[in-house]
Amino acid sequence: MPTEPSATQSDDLALLGLLQLVSPALPIGAFAWSQGLESAFELDWVRDEASLAEWLEGVLHDGLSHCELPVLARQQHAWAAADSDAIAFWDDWLQANRETAELAAEDRRLGDALTRLLGNLTLLPTSPSLPAKAGYVTVFAWTAERRGVPVRQTLLGFAWAWLENQLAVACKALPLGHTAAQRLVEQLRPSLVTAVDKALTLDDEALGPVLPGLALASALHETQYSRLFRS
């Protein structure tokens, strides 16, 4: 007769579930998007390790910590409470805060890809709470809740996956080696923790990204002549 997993085993399974969710090998196509970074390279706003670190710090503290991360926490709490109204509200809120067609498409297409994957793994919610064409953050929050991942760890995992993807973009599109990328990981790891700390303290009225440079880069990327990435 099967026995219930112990608390330690449950924690271990949650951690492994989070690692699976943030793995670059997760087949949702995140590698195809740069979130405006490729355009920043083309415009010479980001040209080397130092300017890349400055760009990433800015996006993290003026973007993720005021947008995706606090909403991710709200969405995970909403999934735990089966609050379909809150889930739909924050999914719509995120879409409304995407300032370019590319950024909006990225969120929806990653959400679609993750939804299809979860369907193949029989991990989709059985209730009708998942919005049609749900965005990536909303589906990510459901998956973390389904895996039993604590909210703070969910946010850290999401931020880590963002940083890893941005550095992968830089390694492909800049003369940036993998050792330099690891130096940036070491430099920015404390900033990920700080961003999560901030995200968990913000009231609803304080939310919203302030990233005019990224929005402009993303808009210009839509007509950039030579591109490796979809955003």
Q: What's the CATH number where 199 sits?
A: 1.10.4190.10
* Tokens linked to 155: 């946010």
94 falls within a domain: yes
20 falls within a domain: no
| pLDDT, average across residues 113-130 | 88
State how far the alpha carbon of 176 is from the alpha carbons of 24, 171, 203, 205, in Å. 19, 5, 38, 39
- For residue 62, the enclosing domain spans 39-221
Please determine, for residue 145, whether its predicted confidence score (pLDDT) is greater than 70.
yes
Q: Which of 25-34, 135-144, 209-218 has the highest mean pLDDT?
A: 135-144
Please determine, for residue 206, whether its predicted confidence score (pLDDT) is greater than 60.
yes
4 falls within a domain: no
Chain mean position to CA 135 = 11
26 falls within a domain: no
What is the spatial distance between Cα 68 and Cα 211, in angstroms, rounded to a whole number? 13
1 falls within a domain: no
Please determine, for residue 1, whether its predicted confidence score (pLDDT) is greater than 70.
no
Residue 225 neighbours by CB under 8 Å, 6+ apart: none
14 falls within a domain: no
Please determine, for residue 75, whether its predicted confidence score (pLDDT) is greater than 60.
yes
How many domains in the chain?
1
Does residue 160 contact residue 135 with C-beta atoms inside 8 Å?
no
25 falls within a domain: no
11 falls within a domain: no
Weakest-pLDDT range from 101-105, 109-113, 197-201:
101-105
CA dihedral 65, 66, 70, 72 (to 10 degrees): -80
| Closest to 156 (Cα-Cα) out of 76, 48, 82 | 76
Specify the pLDDT at position 122: 92
What is the spatial distance between Cα 192 and Cα 155, in angstroms, rounded to a whole number? 9
Q: How confident is the model at residue 79 (pLDDT cuts 50, 70, 90)?
A: very high
Specify the pLDDT at position 223: 79
